[in-house]
A and B are shown apart, each in its own frame.
Chain A
Amino acid sequence: MAVEHSPATPAGDRSRIHDIGYRGYDGPRLGRAYARRSLYSQSLRGAYGLGRSVKSKVLPMLLFAVMCVPAAIMVAVAVATKAHELPVAYTRYAIIMQAVISLYVASQAPQAVSRDLRFKTVPLYFSRPIETADYVRAKFAALASALFVLTATPLLVMYVGALLSKMGFAHQTEKFAQGLVSVALLSLFFAGIGLVIAAVTPRRGFGIAAVIAVMTISYGAVSTLQAIAFAQDSTGAIPWIGLFSPVTLIDGVQSAFLGGSSAFPGGTGPSGGEGAVYVVAVLSLIAACYGLLNRRYQKVGL
């Protein structure tokens, strides 16, 4: 406390607000939609390491290259041998490369959300005019778009290659569109699963292992069981077993409705009715992931 010089003077006379040069902001307020768009574009760039260090660009770019190179080779072979059909269908490509896609989700989903949790930056986001749903939507959309870029680019390479070698425009376009729908569904679905798991743990390493475990282990378990069911001639059980792993779910949807051939043992994909169950399962799982993420961020750090 300062020494009171003249206790007789009333306090009101000496107190005043000094103008020390702070200035109010009178520029444009860009608002919630702008903040959400920025978060989306930053997360999308971050998923490929753009705007981050060289070291963190290596893995996503490497996986992107690994996704595209086989497609380019296939196109080259098809053009050289003057084939009338690409060696691998558009819808099959993502299923064949599923290990790479799983690795990408596993490495980039924790990158998108775990670090915000660990360094406690989530409350800072929510001090801006965005809400829980905006954050979740931006992150979900960013990872899904990154995955779509990863899975659709090789299809584009194949499509362009097929058109250049004059394989029949209408037929190729139809197949290409089916492939795009399939990878769009796959992107949304995998992004949802990856984000839900990654949002639970602030530890990046653990998040990666958990995502890959869910993707790969469930696929390994399901395909083992399907192979055994096939060997035992209980082919009716094969489609139902396929409901329990993300990759086989996508496989089932596209072999039922998108003109793909199934990778299930014996090539027995789900029939129309079973395929409907697959579609419902995929869509409700995507919705469930979105709901779970929203619930997770209701409380976090606040």
Chain B
Amino acid sequence: MYDPTVARLTYRALLGRRRALILGALPLLLIVIAVAVRALTGADDQTASDVLGGFALATMVPIIGVIAGTGAIGPEIDDGSVVYLLSKPLKRPTIIFTKLIVAIAVTMVFSAVPTLIAGLILNGNGQQIAVAYTVAALVSSIAYSALFLLLGTVSRHAVVFGLVYALVWEALFGSLVPGARTLSVQQWSLAVAHKVSGGDLVTSDVGLTTATVLLVAVTVLATWYAGQKLRALKLAGEE
């Protein structure tokens, strides 16, 4: 199910040239903010939770997920070079699975690790906040990667739709319409984080069981359907 060559190519497509630097700018910004906030306010659990929840989990993880998830397959389909990959004797689900693993790894490295560091800077893991948000970032990395990888195989405008989901649906509708929060990767991962921290600082609108079931279901279904889409991929010209 895992093909090292495809993985190597995908890593190169995602991180080659100067792209790793651009991806690294976001985590760096998070750490700079964490240092600034710590210097401004000192260690405070509520502030730490606000920064990690509002900036790291709500903005940074989805955007890195969009870049890594759609970037793992989107550009190849876009410029047509995916046919060289598809013409090799590899099962299409294997290609998808390998690309998913790479996308998850990239998202985790660029989002969960900085979240942990920022959490440690902000309040030294008081009340398990840093660990809780890191777990949330890890869990949501998996779901976002699978979801956005699927989008990359479905649409040529995957990045835009991914961003609309991440920013408009989760941030805007999530804050206005309570029902929308049930269908949000962010809330599902917060439910897991809530279980880890055990405190009241990390809260979610979704129960742990529902969240876990939905997370697993979304990841598996998205991966399976992406494999199906790739089996019957139609290459279209530029618009």
A interface with B by C-beta (< 8 Å): 52-53, 55-56, 59, 99, 103, 106-107, 115, 118-119, 203-206, 208-210, 212-213, 216-217, 220-221, 224-225, 227-229, 231-232, 234
Contact = CB atoms under 8 A, between A and B. Distances in A.
B26 A217 contact: yes
Contact of B160 (A59, A220, A228, A232): A59
A99 B168 contact: yes
A115 B79 CA distance: 11
Q: Is the interface of B mostly helix, strand, loop or mixed?
A: helix
Contacts of A216: 59, 63, 167
A216 B26 CA distance: 11
B172 interface: yes
B204 to A, nearest CB: 20
A19 B74 CA distance: 52
A107 B160 contact: yes
Interface stretch (B46-54, B98-106, B218-226): B46-54
A276 to B, nearest CB: 25
Q: Contact size class for B?
A: 35 or more
Contacts of B47: 228, 231
A234 B163 contact: no
Interface stretch (B64-72, B109-117, B132-140, B227-235): B64-72
A209 B26 contact: no
A213 B26 contact: yes
A203 B75 CA distance: 7
Given A213-B26, A217-B60, A232-B41, A205 B54 contact: no
Given A52-B239, A209-B163, A228-B47, A221 B55 contact: yes
B40 A228 contact: yes
A9 to B, nearest CB: 55
Q: Is the interface of A mostly helix, strand, loop or mixed?
A: helix
Given A119-B238, A217-B29, A224-B33, 10 more contacts: A53-B239, A99-B171, A203-B78, A205-B71, A205-B75, A212-B63, A216-B167, A221-B29, A224-B54, A227-B50
Contact of A204 (B36, B40, B54, B78): B78
Contacts of A210: 22
B51 A224 contact: yes
B60 A209 contact: no
Contacts of A220: 54-55, 58-59
Interface in B24-48: 25-26, 29, 33, 36-37, 40-41, 47
Nearest to B163: A212
Contact of B70 (A59, A119, A205): A205
B177 to A, nearest CB: 15
B163 A221 contact: no
B153 to A, nearest CB: 13
B71 A213 contact: no
Query: 9 smallest A-B Cβ distances: which pairs?
Result: A205-B159, A208-B159, A220-B59, A53-B239, A209-B67, A107-B160, A205-B74, A224-B55, A212-B163
Nearest to A100: B168
A208 B160 contact: yes
Nearest to B51: A224
A107 B41 CA distance: 38
